[in-house]
Structure 1
């Protein structure tokens, strides 16, 4: 590490054991070689913005304060809408369930009885002659 950052090994050791604090030039050098400086300083992983996020930040900084406020409100509203639609859509998609009214089932149509030539079905309509006992 010392060779990579053009410092002495003793200086690197002092930084690592906490005897001295690294200066801004050292931290800049860490970033240049791909080390997460936020992690070095805080122990928490930092997240670098993507190119698109950096462009968004740059555009945000280039407008006046009232426009910034409107942009924040717009993005907050869009985020809420996105979360609301995602929850509904993802829940049913993940469950593999089609949306329907709870507690209701579609009635299965019964087969129509077959009639003979004189309009009689041949089956008793009700009473003791019925097979199901009703």
Structure 2
């Protein structure tokens, strides 16, 4: 809360810090570091390659600042698993690993309208949630 003995600038600064901390999902900094190390890069080179300074990269890894969309896009171009960084889970996108039934479903999805694909995606999501809650 703003107190008359504080300056307006100090108050605004403290509120911005609070907002920034609220934007950072727990673990993002650690996963950023993991991905940087997986690519065998130091903070300077990794940050610069994604469009930020070493100091900003360090702040992201310490979770004292939130990455923006330009930075995340730069990471994607570096080969960083941005989905993993943001969510903590990896998605296997290797289509060569699809089994026969999955290949058939994908083939049929490609023949559908955008609206029908969206409906099927919602249905698959709902069915997967039920399966996890009540495996049979």
- Interval containing the TM-score (normalised by the shorter chain): 0.3 to 0.5
TM-score (norm 1): 0.39
Higher relative helix content: 2
Give me the TM-score of the superposition, normalised by structure 2: 0.39
Higher relative contact order by CA 8 Å / sep ≥ 6: 1 or 2? 2
